[in-house]
Chains A and B, each alone.
Chain A
């Protein structure tokens, strides 16, 4: 019997001649001519010096602003998506901010519960089991009733990750996850992102597509599988270890 024809898989992220403006002023271009394809299941580490536009690229990829030029598609859908009818497509992507960007008037558990409750119209009690499972997985249960102001920066970042995972996104964008963390926290993040990439029970064992930004590529060797470098207003994909090593040196 003939095998059925293979269905070409739509890339998770596809950018064609994209230019990225600064989030504070989109007319100020930071990166141009981005031609970048992220396949489902990829694990990218995007490096760059401070001010190179890593966070702006990630925020644009997260759909918070349109590309200044070019076309950006998420699973084949043109981004950014703001209309309600296409919201489901938009929620296939989760974004973890550099500082966590938590809601300061809500507790940790309320922060994590908010997207669940809002999109599924759940009461606190209905969302509670799912929220508890997420907090347990990320070792955040002891801080469930604390407000973000009472937490250290490292834990705030972790809450930001927990909140982004609440809706089980297929693509997770993480902005500078390792910046300012101690060695134990760095190891936790690298281990947890590895597990997300391989398939975590929080995401129904489905391997997540990951894009992380970093000022230093060295910790990501052996973890991320694809590397890129932002510099001179361009995104360069690093295909070989030699290129990654050279990029690491450039960032020193």
Chain B
């Protein structure tokens, strides 16, 4: 018998394992933890594949309904966060420059200011901070919205109407969040690079704008752009998949929504850090 995309995760055995109390024996405890971790990874992997499959297979289905939803999600996860990101970019410029300038001046390495900005802001902090902020502002909202919809039977109502819940509820969120997390770091990075120079200027660092710009251009490579794009898209996709999975894939009661939110946030952070580590390895290897 075939199963719907969402109900594919609704296995009594999996639910039982995930909700069983942890045993007291240390090895049992460890084993159960490992089993839970593997089940979660399996569930997330399957959900991500299903989501990708639905995105590709139903690309042209109900575009008049799905396209506005994607625009709404992109705006929610991207455009509306822009003021906060501009503030954050100014703060990030101050943090990096404020801490590094005095030390670089002491060792006479002020020529590396642009390089440090690129490595710290462009490669690492920009994408990761964006991902964490989008997770905090939008990812948590995803779990709560979808978890509540699931608990109130809205998902069953969609299935009864022949509407694939993954297509209607998950695909727009995943697409919108991937686009937003891809676009937001650009504003964050640009803002941080500009504010970084302004803070350096305030601290009387003998660095002309042209020189600072040359340092930045020199530090940038084509790989930076390619990996930045890949990394930010991956962050957006992962956050959306993890938060949607916890909100949608497991049957929830209303009182379980808050626990699902906490789990989703923790797993999203871990997943983003792991992806970041993977990209660091790629940077070092290439």
Q: B162 near A104 (CB under 8 angstroms)?
A: no
Q: B8: nearest residue on chain A (CB-CB)?
A: A82
**CB neighbors of B among A14-35 (8 A):** 23-27
Distance from A71 Cβ to chain B, minimum over Cβ atoms (Å): 11
| Residues of A with C-beta under 8 A to B251 | 24
Q: A115 near B64 (CB under 8 angstroms)?
A: no
| Residues of A with C-beta under 8 A to B14 | none
> Is B211 an interface residue when CB atoms closer than 8 A count as contact?
no
> Is A141 an interface residue when CB atoms closer than 8 A count as contact?
no
Q: B60: nearest residue on chain A (CB-CB)?
A: A121
Interface centre among B145, B154, B157 (most CB of A within 10 A): B157
> Is A80 an interface residue when CB atoms closer than 8 A count as contact?
yes
- A-B pairs, top 7 by smallest CB distance, nearest first, are A101-B157, A101-B153, A95-B160, A115-B161, A118-B62, A66-B1, A82-B4
Cα separation A38 to B145 with both chains bound (whole Å): 38
Q: A102 near B157 (CB under 8 angstroms)?
A: yes
Q: Which listed segment binds B: A42-50, A56-64, A233-241?
A: A56-64
The interface size of chain B toward A, counting residues with CB under 8 Å, comes to: 28
Distance from A8 Cβ to chain B, minimum over Cβ atoms (Å): 27
Cα separation A196 to B158 with both chains bound (whole Å): 23
Q: B65 near A101 (CB under 8 angstroms)?
A: no
> Is A163 an interface residue when CB atoms closer than 8 A count as contact?
yes
Given A62-B160, A80-B4, A121-B64, list of 6 further CB < 8 A pairs? Answer: A82-B2, A103-B158, A104-B149, A117-B64, A118-B161, A123-B64
Q: A83: nearest residue on chain B (CB-CB)?
A: B2
Cα separation A123 to B64 with both chains bound (whole Å): 6
Q: B63 near A87 (CB under 8 angstroms)?
A: no
| Residues of A with C-beta under 8 A to B34 | none
Q: B2 near A97 (CB under 8 angstroms)?
A: no
A121: contacting residue among B4, B65, B153, B162, CB under 8 A: B65
> Is B159 an interface residue when CB atoms closer than 8 A count as contact?
yes
What number of residue pairs across chains A and B have CB atoms under 8 A from each other? Answer: 78
Cα separation A23 to B150 with both chains bound (whole Å): 13
Q: A64 near B163 (CB under 8 angstroms)?
A: no
Cα separation A251 to B159 with both chains bound (whole Å): 32
B154: contacting residue among A87, A101, A115, CB under 8 A: A101
| Residues of B with C-beta under 8 A to A121 | 61-65
Cα separation A101 to B162 with both chains bound (whole Å): 15
Q: Mark B147-191, 1 if CB is under 8 A from A, else 0.
A: 011001110111111110000100000000000000000000000
Given A25-B12, A83-B2, verify A119-B157 contact (CB < 8 Å).
no
Q: B2: nearest residue on chain A (CB-CB)?
A: A82
| Residues of A with C-beta under 8 A to B152 | 101, 104
> Is B42 an interface residue when CB atoms closer than 8 A count as contact?
no
User: Which residues of B are at the interface with A, using a C-beta cutoff of 8 A?
Assistant: 1-5, 7, 12, 61-65, 145, 148-149, 152-154, 156-163, 168, 251
Q: B3: nearest residue on chain A (CB-CB)?
A: A82
Q: B4: nearest residue on chain A (CB-CB)?
A: A82
Q: A59 near B156 (CB under 8 angstroms)?
A: yes
Cα separation A62 to B156 with both chains bound (whole Å): 10
Given A101-B152, A118-B168, A121-B65, verify A87-B1 contact (CB < 8 Å).
no
Q: B157: nearest residue on chain A (CB-CB)?
A: A101
Cα separation A80 to B7 with both chains bound (whole Å): 12
Interface centre among A62, A103, A118, A167 (most CB of B within 10 A): A118
> Is A157 an interface residue when CB atoms closer than 8 A count as contact?
no
Distance from B78 Cβ to chain A, minimum over Cβ atoms (Å): 20
> Is A114 an interface residue when CB atoms closer than 8 A count as contact?
yes
Distance from A94 Cβ to chain B, minimum over Cβ atoms (Å): 8
Q: B58: nearest residue on chain A (CB-CB)?
A: A84
| Residues of A with C-beta under 8 A to B157 | 97, 101-103
> Is A65 an interface residue when CB atoms closer than 8 A count as contact?
yes
Q: B61: nearest residue on chain A (CB-CB)?
A: A121
Q: B12 near A27 (CB under 8 angstroms)?
A: yes
B161: contacting residue among A65, A105, A114, A123, CB under 8 A: A114
> Is A181 an interface residue when CB atoms closer than 8 A count as contact?
no
Cα separation A65 to B4 with both chains bound (whole Å): 9
Listed A/B pairs (12) with beta-carbon separation below 8 Å: A24-B251, A25-B12, A27-B12, A59-B156, A82-B2, A82-B3, A87-B162, A104-B154, A118-B65, A119-B62, A163-B161, A164-B161
Q: Mark A64-84, 1 if CB is under 8 A from B, else 0.
A: 111000000000000010110
> Is A99 an interface residue when CB atoms closer than 8 A count as contact?
yes
Given A27-B12, A103-B154, verify A115-B162 contact (CB < 8 Å).
yes
> Is A138 an interface residue when CB atoms closer than 8 A count as contact?
no
